Chains A and B, each alone.
Chain A
Amino acid sequence: MNAGQDSLGFGLGLRSEYYQAILEQRPAIDWFEIVSENYLVDGGKALYFLDAIGEHYPLVMHGVSLSIGGPHELDRDYLRRLKHLAQRVQPAWISDHLCWSRGNAHQLHDLLPLPYTEESLQHVAARVCQVQDVIERPLVLENVSSYLRCADDQFSEWQFLSALSELSGCELLLDVNNVYVSARNHGFDAWEFISSLPKQRIRQLHLAGHSDYGSYLIDTHDHPVSDPVWQLYQRTLQHLGPVSTLLERDDHFPDLDELLGELNKARLLAAETLQGGSQCA
C-alpha cells in the first residue's frame, strides 16, 4: 500500500485562508487534505471553493469528530453526511483519529486519547468495522498527540494501532510530529513507535509544528516543522519508502509561499533520502 506508485506526493491541509491564493496561483502542490467537518454544510463559500479546487487537485478527507473510541453510539447522521460529502469529493481516502471526542452526554471537541487496553481495542475495532460498512472503504486512523497516559494500559500505542489495524482492516495515518510530541511527553522512544507499525498499513504521513513548553510539548500546528521532526520524517521515509506526505498548519497562517517552501523541504528531503526516487510529482 505504501509503495511509491500509490503515493499522492506532497500535499497541504486546505484552509480557507488560502482558497483565493490557490485558485489564483495554482501552486505546485500535489494534493489537498480537507477537514471534512468544514464542508458538512448546506451551501456557501466553503463548498464553492471545495468544488473549484477539487477540479484541479486530488483531495483527501480528514475528519475530527468521528469519535471512534467514544462511549456513545456512532452518529449515523454524521456518517451519512460524511458519505454524501465523499460522493461529492471523490477522496483518495477518508481518515480520522484514534481518539474519542464526544462523551456519553456531550461533544468535547478534542482528540482525547484512549486507554490502550483489550477492552478499548475490542470497542474501537467493532466501531471501525461499522464505519467501514458505511463508507465502503478502509478507514484511515491517525495517532494523536497526547498528554495523558493510563495506568491500566495493556499495550503501547503502537502495539494498539497495529492490533487495531489487524483486527479491523483499518489503515494508518502516521503523524510524525504527534509521535515526537507524545514521545517527549511520555518518555518513550519515537523510533520504536514508528518502526513497530505494520509498514504495509501506512497510507499517509502528517507533518506539523508544535510548541515547546520546556519539559513538555503541545501539538499546536502553529509553527514550522521542528528539526527533530524533520529528522524523524527522513528516517521514516528511509524505513517506509515513498508515502503521501501532508503538511498541516492551523494557526498563525503565513503566506502560502512560506508553506510551499516548507512543503518543498519535505520534497527535497524525500528525494535525497530516496535517492531521487519517483515519489515527486
Chain B
Amino acid sequence: MRLSDWQAEVQSYLLNGDVTPHPALQASLLGSAALTAEQGLAIYHNAYRARLLETLRGDYPAVHGWLGDDEFDALALAYLNAHPSQHFSLRWLGAQLADFIDGYLVPAQAAPLSELARLEWAFTLAFDAIEAPVLSMAQMAELAPEDWPSLQVRLLPSVQWLTCGHNSVAIWRACKEQTEFPGSQPLAEVETCLVWRDQLITRYRSLATDEAAALQGMAVQGWNFAELCGELSGLGEQAPVQAVTWLRQWLSDGLLQRYPTD
C-alpha cells in the first residue's frame, strides 16, 4: 500500500467511531506476542477520543458540569464528528462548540447551553489575547483639560463582549466555586457581561444597561468624551459626573486603550 493510502486508512479508522479496523488496514500491520495489531490500533483509537474529550472538558468545565460526563461526551463526540480538528493546536478545538449546540439541540435547550459555552470560550479568548498598551488612570490624570472633549478610547483586544439572556454567569461561578448548580433561569432583562484579561488575571463583570450602552458608544462606536456627555444629557448637570464615574471604572478595570494609538 502506498504511504498516503495507508495514512488515509489510519485517519479513517481514527475518525470512525467503530474500533474494528478495515481489513486492508489490518492486513497492513504486524502484531507481536506482546501486542496484537488490533490492540495497537485500539490504543490509538482510544487515545484520539480521550485526548479530544479531555481538551473540550477542560475548555468547557461549566457545560461539562451541567450536563455530566455522559451527556457532555455525547455532545462533544457529535461536535467532533461535525467539526474534526483543523488547527495544529488543540487550543482551537472547541472554537465552534457554541454554534454547534445551537444547531444540535432544540432551541429551548440550546439557548442557555450555547450561551454558557460562549461565556466559557470568551475566557479562553481573553486568556491569551494579544497585549496592547492599557490606558491608565495616571495617564488620564496628565490629560490636559482642553483634550478631554476629544478623548477617544477603544476596548483592549482581550475584552470579550457577551449578551446574556440567562443566568450563565451564575452557573459559571457555581462551577468555578464548586457550589451547588443553581439551575438554568432566564433573566428578567438581558444583561451585558464583559470578560477580559487584566495583567495576567482573567476577569469578568456584568454591566447595567445604561453603563453597557455608554461603553458601547464610546469604546466600540467611537464617541469621544464630549459625545458621551451629550448622550447623557437627560441627566442634566449630572451628565459629566456620570461620564467621569464610568470612565474611572473602565480605567480601573483595565478595559481601555487610547485611540488613535500612538
Contact = CB atoms under 8 A, between A and B. Distances in A.
A71 B28 CA distance: 17
A109 B48 contact: yes
Given A106-B84, A109-B85, A151-B29, A120 B3 contact: yes
Contact of B88 (A42, A46, A75, A216): A75
A106 B86 contact: yes
B51 A215 contact: no
A24 to B, nearest CB: 15
B27 interface: yes
Interface string A31-50: 00000010011111111100
A104 B200 contact: no
A5 interface: no
Nearest to B80: A106
Q: Which of A44, A45, A47, A152 has the most CB of B within 10 A?
A: A44
A240 B226 CA distance: 73
B44 A148 contact: yes
Contacts of A149: 29-32, 37, 40
A221 interface: no
A16 to B, nearest CB: 11
A105 B84 contact: yes
A185 B48 contact: no
B39 A147 contact: yes
Interface in B1-52: 1-4, 6-8, 10-11, 14-15, 27-35, 37, 39-41, 43-44, 47-48, 51-52
Nearest to A145: B43
Contacts of B74: none
Nearest to A153: B30
A186 B35 contact: yes
Contacts of A185: 32, 34-35, 40
B90 interface: yes
Contact of B4 (A104, A110, A218): A104
7 contacts: A43-B129, A44-B200, A104-B11, A110-B48, A110-B51, A185-B35, A215-B35
Given A110-B51, A216-B34, 11 more contacts: A42-B131, A48-B200, A100-B7, A103-B10, A106-B84, A108-B11, A110-B48, A115-B28, A147-B43, A150-B28, A186-B35
Interface of B: 1-4, 6-8, 10-11, 14-15, 27-35, 37, 39-41, 43-44, 47-48, 51-52, 84-91, 127-131, 157-158, 197, 200
